[in-house]
Structure 1
Amino acid sequence: MDRKLDEMVIALKDELVSAVSDSVRVKSVQDTPVDGGPFGKGVKESLEKTVKLAKDLGFEARNADGYVGIVDYGSGETFGVLGHLDVVPEGEGWEVPPYSGLVKDGEIWGRGTQDDKGPMIAALYALKAVKEYVKKPSKRIRLIFGTNEESGWECMKYYVKHEEIPDMSVTPDADFPVIFAEKGIVNYGISAPAHNGGEGISVEVLSAGEAPNMVASSARAVLRGVDAESYEKIEAFSPKNDTKLKLTRSEDKVEILITGSSAHGSTPYKGQSAIAAIVDLLADLRLGDSEIKNFLTAIKSKIGYEFYGESLGISGKDSMSGELTLNAGTLRLQAGVLKLVINIRYPVFFNESMIRSQIEEAFKGFRVETFHHQKPLYISPDSELVKMCREVYKEVTGHDEEPIAIGGGTYARAVPNAVAFGALFPGNVEMAHQPNERVSIEDLLLVSRIYAQLFLRFLQS
């Protein structure tokens, strides 16, 4: 490890903390497109702010049509760092304002501190130190700041179409020591018409979940025509997970609010799904709409509280990347249609078309759509890129863990010869997509130190 460069990065600690805190204050959740901002006002502001920061640090930096920010140092053979500035919605259960960027107890709090603003700004400050240390590089480091990672990857599609592809790349959007395999990711929308006719309870409102790749932290239903017997049944309902039920009755309506806890869609077992609980409750009521009743019954029977797709007949694992996981992300009654979106992470050697076929069979009679499919990623653990990342990680941390496979999906899939490298350290708690997301300042600084050595290794190779 180059000690002088390491000391230069450490000296930037206060600047790094201030920059991350400032970035988190921008709510960069995808929204209605605006002029120069295909993913909404907040995302546009975050991108413009980051490009300005890079320019203020002395870099060549540009905003590519509101899709990506590009920061360059050097020229020639290129090493890319791909990350993103957009974040998932904040969800429920925060102890602090989710976009405060609060610094307390040695941590920076707020949505994006772990995923992925904190790590990408850490990479930017690593590059700042390298720029001061290596004056005339014969190669290039390029940081690529995406803006649509959480909801479509249109930013990376734009980049690949219009910009130069790096010779090798990493993304600080997963775990250390280095990721050599990522499961396939696919969302399925399953839907049924909703008419609310017939005798029985009418479902006027049903809304649950924030995004397909988040465990639903809340669910709300408004029912009309609830008789005394049904109301007692609702009052007595006990979810099979640790979600909480709240009832409000006014005139002839009953409002049901179920509160759970969110988690990343790749680890649904870490959360408490409000969708599982609301479906469990509603499916057993005497609903007037047979279509809604049948659909909710099917969801309860084929998904329920499960995380691995057992009742759907799609559960399984491979030795390379582990088990298939399933997350029921959103459930909406809208414009006469009740729609469930599930997020599945399937093992590297599984076949998506067979998974879809099984889901269509399980939900026969309902509409099944496939969208946002990302095929699995596999890079040999013996590749030059994986070995370089692993060696640098060992030099800086003193640890030599084996490369790993994950269920999350990163920008490493967007370009050839790319892997995820950090930014969560082994043994640390993942807070991405969860309330109270935060990052240790010392961990963030360590990310910056590791990336500085990685950049130096590439430039001197």
Structure 2
Amino acid sequence: MRSRYIHVRARHPLAAAGLLSLVAAASCTNGSHAPRPIAQPAPSVDRVQDADRAAACALAPAARVRAFRDMEARDAHASRKAARASALERWNPDGPASAADLPQAIGVARAIIRTCSTDEVIDLTRRLVALQTVAAIAPAPSNPEFQAMAQVLTREAAKAGLQFRDIGPGDAWEITLAGRGDARALSLITHGDVVPVNDPPSVIGRGVIPEGWTVPAFDAKVVDGRLYGRGTEDDKVPIAASLVVMREMRAAGILPDGEVTLAIGTAEEEAWEGMRRYAAQAKHARYTVSLDAGFPVVSAQSGFVAWGVRAPAGKLPTAGKRPVIRELQGGLFLTQVPDHAWMVIEPRGESVAALLSRAQACAAQELEARGRLPNQDRFRISVQEQAGATASAGVRIVVDGVSAHASVAAQGRNALWPLASMARRLDAAAGGARAVLDVIADAFDGDQHGERLGVAYEDPFMGRLLVAATRLRLAEGYATVEVNMRRPRGPSSEAFTETLQGAVRKLQERHGKELEQIPKIYVGSPYVVDATQPLVTTLLGVYRDVTGREGKAEPMNGGTYARLFEGAVDFGPGFPGAPYTGHGADEYVEVAALSKITEMVFEAAIRLTTASRDSGTGTAP
């Protein structure tokens, strides 16, 4: 039988593939026996173009650039934009773009970012989240999870034509896109470590759901439009987005005015010594942007304060009529509002059953009282008997609240507050544990600004001092409460340290001289940069053009690596009005937000590192 052939001259790599269905339809059959064809509506032009773009996203980076160039040229012809179509057809994307071709390269890269990047950022983020890079378990040089993450980043950088370097080793990782000359045009600052999900911190099974979570912490999945997993917001989505942006810039031949470097710290949640060393010796960048806070732009950071008080635990009394606190614990780490706290109390002068009944009644009263207060809902208190395998039987009281980053403490429900109140309702015996719980009840319960502690102050731009009791322990002979503060401009570090010492003296007057300040405290200074500098105004322009919203430079209660680099600011990843989920259970990033984050990182890199920022070719349409 004779075959019929249809010859197709492909204008771009997808053309032939797109016509395969037509070739199949034209195959010979015996006309008398062929079924009558069913008429189908012609697909709309938009649907065809969307399908073409989706197919192009699956191509290798270089082929993808050529495919998108051809599709952009086709669209320009259809829109009667002959000059743009001609410019695109003249541009050869194999190699660095010339000054004349730079607008075309930027436009094609922008189209790829908008069309293809979301799935790719999600995929890379999922692989990064699977690695439990908790510096509290072990530092990067000796931690297999960090070593595995470095290997992932090394492979991704190599595939993208970027350079990976381990600085330190283990102080920071660098991924660099080469530019014109050796100068550094832009540094993007992030961190690859994450906060723990358990106490003591340890590696858990990838599919395990930690206490307080409803999804696995290290098996990131998209659920109802959200990508869940530890480190998604803080800080692995920004890492993945930056790497994808740098890859697309290189694939499109966009040669920045100098190097673009993604710097990834490895112990931001623990100790900053490694990043301090890196910042001191790293090549100075014309612009430095941290991706670890929020949009539109963060130009001021509060001073970080680590403080606390403790009291000797002493021996448990064996006589008396008041219950004794035997065990006490709450909170995972300093910078998280605790969502879980508990104590075990032993009866004195009553039976375990009687104490259990009283505790259950007190728990009901406590929850009822909290429910009448603003922002005091969503607590749970459980009371049960605890058999004594190695000690006397007692009653275990567990409080569950809502975790939140300490810089946004009002978003959480601090489990230490009801626990301290329960000790009072049950009239627990005096001692170190009771003294520390009384401090929590008197100085911190319901007061997140240090008013009752006597340390409150505020700044017109940066706002009020923020105070959160976050960690409670009965161990090593002491009952201890640790407190995280975020302080605005105002008194010097030395002056505020004296204020804290005065607060201890007042607490001693009320709760006993045995109460003392913890041995090791830290009082940091606020960080503020000029909000009128070109870096800030450029980033605000990016935010406006991508989101359609006006914005202004804002302060934050947190602290990021930006303060280690002169003139640096933060740009994302959080959005105004959205809850900050980093450090909390069920951490997530909205997929729609992830797409905008990637787009804004791209636009920022273009405007800050190419000469086109002055001619307008870098401006998003």
| Shift, 1:273, TM fit | 0.7
Candidates 502, 524, 528, aligned match of 1:361: 502
Residue 45 of structure 1 pairs with residue 148 of structure 2: yes
Tell which has more relative contact order, 1 or 2 (C-alpha 8 A, sep 6+).
1
Closer/same/farther in 2, CA of residues 144 and 373 from structure 1, 3 Å limit:
farther
Show the counterpart of 1:423: 573
Show the counterpart of 1:29: 134
Unaligned 5+ segments in structure 1 are: none
**Cα distance in 2, alignment partners of residues 306 and 48 from structure 1:** 46
Secondary structure, aligned partner of 2:490: coil
1:140-159 equivalent positions in 2, closer than 5 A? 140-159=259-278
Closer/same/farther in 2, CA of residues 315 and 97 from structure 1, 3 Å limit:
same
**Cα distance in 1, alignment partners of residues 357 and 504 from structure 2:** 31
| Matching residue's letter, 2:585 | P
Show the counterpart of 2:462: 321
Candidates 152, 164, 172, aligned match of 2:283: 164
Closer/same/farther in 2, CA of residues 47 and 283 from structure 1, 3 Å limit:
farther
Candidates 293, 303, 306, aligned match of 2:447: 306
| Shift, 1:122, TM fit | 0.7
**Cα distance in 1, alignment partners of residues 286 and 292 from structure 2:** 19
| Shift, 1:286, TM fit | 4.5
Secondary structure, aligned partner of 2:448: coil
Show the counterpart of 2:238: 119
Query: Could you give the per-residue CA deviations for residues 331-365 of structure 1, whole angstroms, max 9, x where no partner exists?
Result: 01111111111111111234443433333233234
| Shift, 1:125, TM fit | 0.9
Closer/same/farther in 2, CA of residues 170 and 47 from structure 1, 3 Å limit:
same
**Cα distance in 2, alignment partners of residues 233 and 451 from structure 1:** 57
Show the counterpart of 1:236: 361
**Cα distance in 1, alignment partners of residues 282 and 521 from structure 2:** 25
Candidates 89, 104, 108, aligned match of 1:4: 108
Given that residues 70 and 142 in structure 1 are in contact (C-alpha distance below 8 angstroms), is that contact kept between their aligned partners in structure 2? yes
**Cα distance in 2, alignment partners of residues 380 and 273 from structure 1:** 35
Given that residues 232 and 589 in structure 2 are in contact (C-alpha distance below 8 angstroms), is that contact kept between their aligned partners in structure 1? yes
Query: Could you give the per-residue CA deviations for residues 303-355 of structure 1, whole angstroms, max 9, x where no partner exists?
Result: 22321111011223211111111111100111111111111111123444343
Task: Tell me the TM-score normalised to structure 1 length.
Answer: 0.93
| Matching residue's letter, 2:342 | R
Show the counterpart of 2:293: 174
Given that residues 448 and 466 in structure 2 are in contact (C-alpha distance below 8 angstroms), is that contact kept between their aligned partners in structure 1? yes
Corresponding pairs, count: 459
| Matching residue's letter, 1:368 | Q
Closer/same/farther in 2, CA of residues 211 and 232 from structure 1, 3 Å limit:
same
Secondary structure, aligned partner of 2:540: helix
Residue 107 of structure 1 pairs with residue 226 of structure 2: yes
Show the counterpart of 2:171: 67
| Matching residue's letter, 2:486 | R
Given that residues 332 and 338 in structure 1 are in contact (C-alpha distance below 8 angstroms), is that contact kept between their aligned partners in structure 2? yes
Show the counterpart of 1:279: 420
Candidates 66, 79, 100, aligned match of 2:186: 79
Secondary structure, aligned partner of 1:236: helix
Secondary structure, aligned partner of 2:407: coil
Secondary structure, aligned partner of 2:405: coil
Given that residues 433 and 474 in structure 2 are in contact (C-alpha distance below 8 angstroms), is that contact kept between their aligned partners in structure 1? no
Residue 55 of structure 1 pairs with residue 180 of structure 2: no
Task: Tell me the TM-score normalised to structure 2 length.
Answer: 0.70
Q: Which has the higher helix share?
A: 2
Secondary structure, aligned partner of 1:205: strand
Given that residues 196 and 202 in structure 1 are in contact (C-alpha distance below 8 angstroms), is that contact kept between their aligned partners in structure 2? no
Please tell me the root mean square deviation across aligned C-alpha atoms, in Å.
2.3
Q: Which has the higher strand share?
A: 1
Given that residues 197 and 288 in structure 1 are in contact (C-alpha distance below 8 angstroms), is that contact kept between their aligned partners in structure 2? no
Given that residues 331 and 339 in structure 2 are in contact (C-alpha distance below 8 angstroms), is that contact kept between their aligned partners in structure 1? yes
| Matching residue's letter, 1:348 | R
Show the counterpart of 2:347: 225
**Cα distance in 1, alignment partners of residues 409 and 152 from structure 2:** 33
Show the counterpart of 2:546: 396
Residue 88 of structure 1 pairs with residue 195 of structure 2: yes
Closer/same/farther in 2, CA of residues 25 and 35 from structure 1, 3 Å limit:
closer
Query: Could you give the per-residue CA deviations for residues 12-37 of structure 1, whole angstroms, max 9, x where no partner exists?
Result: 33222110111111222223436823
Show the counterpart of 1:192: 311
**Cα distance in 2, alignment partners of residues 363 and 205 from structure 1:** 24
Unaligned 5+ segments in structure 2 are: 1-102, 199-210, 371-375, 388-392, 506-512, 612-621
Candidates 315, 329, 349, aligned match of 1:207: 329
Given that residues 306 and 485 in structure 2 are in contact (C-alpha distance below 8 angstroms), is that contact kept between their aligned partners in structure 1? yes
| Matching residue's letter, 1:86 | D
| Shift, 1:172, TM fit | 1.2
Q: Highest Rg: 1 or 2?
A: 2
**Cα distance in 2, alignment partners of residues 278 and 220 from structure 1:** 7
